[in-house]
Amino acid sequence: MAPQPTLAVVGATGAVGTVLCDLLSARRNVWGEIRLLASARSVGRKVRCRGEELTVGALTPEAFDGVDVAVFDVPDEVAARWAPIAVDRGAVVVDNSAAFRMDPAVPLVVPEINPDQVDHRPKGIIANANCTTLTMIVAIAPLHREYGLRELVLASYQAVSGAGQAGVDALHRQLGKIAGDRVLGSRPGDVRQAVGDDLGPFPAPLALNVVPWAGSLADHGWSSEEMKVRNESRKILGLPDLKVSATCVRVPVVTGHSVAVHAVFATEVDAEGAREALRNAPGVILVDDPAAGEFPMPIDAVGTDPSWVGRIRRAVDDPRALDLFVTGDNLRKGAALNTAQIAELVVRPRTRS
């Protein structure tokens, strides 16, 4: 019997890397050795993974020797530099950054949708999608298979953890500064004054606020996050001409991205038919009984793997359109879980026994 494959986790001490280690402890054990790698400031730290304390090693070319799959959760520029090095040392790279997502020679994989793309990796790299895209696309794909998707109009409600630990820390500091003042939020500028310059990675306060911006400035006033949702949805679904318009909004939620979706299809749709398609779809939980106060919310989805879907209704003025609401844990399916699933697909011929 062939030995179990070796996995390297690059960025093991980050928010997503930590969740990935938790997932590896809970999922079927297909890995032999697991190597945790990170930047110099994290070398020597202990991280619990698969029930044992593993020591974080240095990110060096030699660290990839003998590695079968290397998963990366690091900034774009770090991935762009180190992923090819890992490939040269013999590893298949699964990258969670945006460095390779739109490279035509790099597949962008969601295992519930296009698992066959894992085997078409001329650069030895497989990309993981943006967390907002992943939250939404798992629910959209079964509806596309049923009705033929033509257009998406989206509004996201993105948690602060999407900006990393700095985003989470900033929100908690801001909430601490305004806690107990029940007048704040009722007068112009008072929240800004209370928070001051302590904005963290955001352009405005998030406590008692929503900020209609996520990412950096792209062309024609769009944000980079909005362009990611458009471009990645097209690539994952294999629909290069799909019409997509997205508005990304940052909200004062720690974990759990949500997306309000208006989807237009090629044929007439039926709300109950859509519910049935989603009820049977992998990676989806249907929560859709507004009369009973049951709808998908981040506070329920956090810590779980599926995308939670509800508020499904046919558009009033278009029999080909559906409106729905999707939410999911952006650190799990939105990042770590999808990465783990892809890595497992890569080694599946060696672990089917």
Same structural domain for residues 166 and 23?
no
Q: Which has the closest alpha carbon to 247: 161, 330, 116, 152?
A: 152
* 79 plus 194 within the same structural domain: no
Q: Which residues contact 104 (CB under 8 A, 6 or more apart)?
A: none
Q: What CATH number has the domain bearing residue 172? A: 3.30.360.10
Phi, psi of 147 (to 5 degrees): -125, -15
- Regarding whether 192 and 123 lie in a shared domain, the answer is no
User: Do residue 58 and residue 205 come from a single domain?
Assistant: no
Is 2 a member of any domain? Answer: no
Residue numbers belonging to the annotated binding site for NADP(+): 13-16, 41-42, 161-162, 330
pLDDT for residue 88: 98
Amino acid at the residue 125: I
DSSP 163: G
Annotated binding site for phosphate: 101
291: containing domain: 133-330
For residue 1, tell me if it sits in a domain: no
Known binding site for substrate: residues? Answer: 158, 250
Q: Are residues 188 and 286 in the same domain?
A: yes
Q: What is the DSSP letter of 153?
A: E
Structural tokens at position 59: 């990110």
Residue 212 Cα to chain centre, angstroms: 19
Residues 138 and 252 in one domain: yes
Taking a C-beta distance cutoff of 8 angstroms, is the pair 226, 134 a contact? no
Question: Is there a single domain that holds both residue 231 and residue 323?
Answer: yes
- Report yes or no on 178 lying in a domain: yes
140 and 239 co-located in one domain:
yes
Assess if residue 51 is contained within a domain: yes
Please say if 257 is a catalytic residue.
Answer: yes
pLDDT computed for residue 51 by the predictor: 82
From 21, 144, 248, 257, active-site residue: 257
Residues 163 and 272 in one domain: yes
Q: 106 and 194 share a domain?
A: no
Residues of the chain with pLDDT under 50: 1, 353
Tell me what pLDDT residue 351 has: 52
SS3 state at 63: helix
Rounded Cα gap, residues 23 and 303, in angstroms: 11
Task: Please identify which of the residues 131, 144, 248, 262 carries the catalytic annotation.
Answer: 131
Task: Let me know whether 219 and 264 are in one domain.
Answer: yes
Q: What is the pLDDT of residue 353?
A: 44
* CATH number of the structural domain spanning residue 101: 3.40.50.720
CA distance 297 to 295: 6
CA distances from 248 to 156, 165, 240, 242 (A): 5, 20, 21, 18
In a domain, 315, yes or no: yes
Within a domain: 81: yes
Burial of 12 (0-12, 13-18, 19+ CB in 10 A): buried
Q: 345: which 2 tokens? A: 């697909």
Q: How many domains does the chain have?
A: 2
Say yes or no: 22 and 98 in one domain.
Answer: yes
